[in-house]
Structure 1
Amino acid sequence: MPKMKSNSGAKKRFKVTGSGKIKRKKAYKRHILTKKSPKRKNNLGKDALVHKADESSVKDLLPYGGK
């Protein structure tokens, strides 16, 4: 059986933690930063976890990292 292909976009956007949860980056920190408060920008820089309802969809895109 040939190897399964991971989704290239998902490979770049998600990382799997040791416990099997999926980490993601937050949106809205690329531009128009002058009107955002320092506290908000700091929190946007931190990683977040993919919601449990969306986890299975992301794991399907990462056959070797997500299972």
Structure 2
Amino acid sequence: MITKIYSIAYGCPKKERNMECPLSEIDHLSFQDKITWIDQLEDDRIEAIFKYHQLCSRS
């Protein structure tokens, strides 16, 4: 699942993130800094980001 989060952090599949997206706060970071940020997250936060992405992708 974390590999999927890296991919989503690299770029939103919708081309532009919603402001509500949990990853919008790191859009200004370099990809390497995004990876570092994600690696420091707890599992429940990673799961929440993934669930948000799934719901957003369906809409």
TM-score (norm 1): 0.27
Per the normalisation by structure 2, the TM-score is 0.30
Computing the radius of gyration over CA atoms, which structure comes out larger, 1 or 2? 1
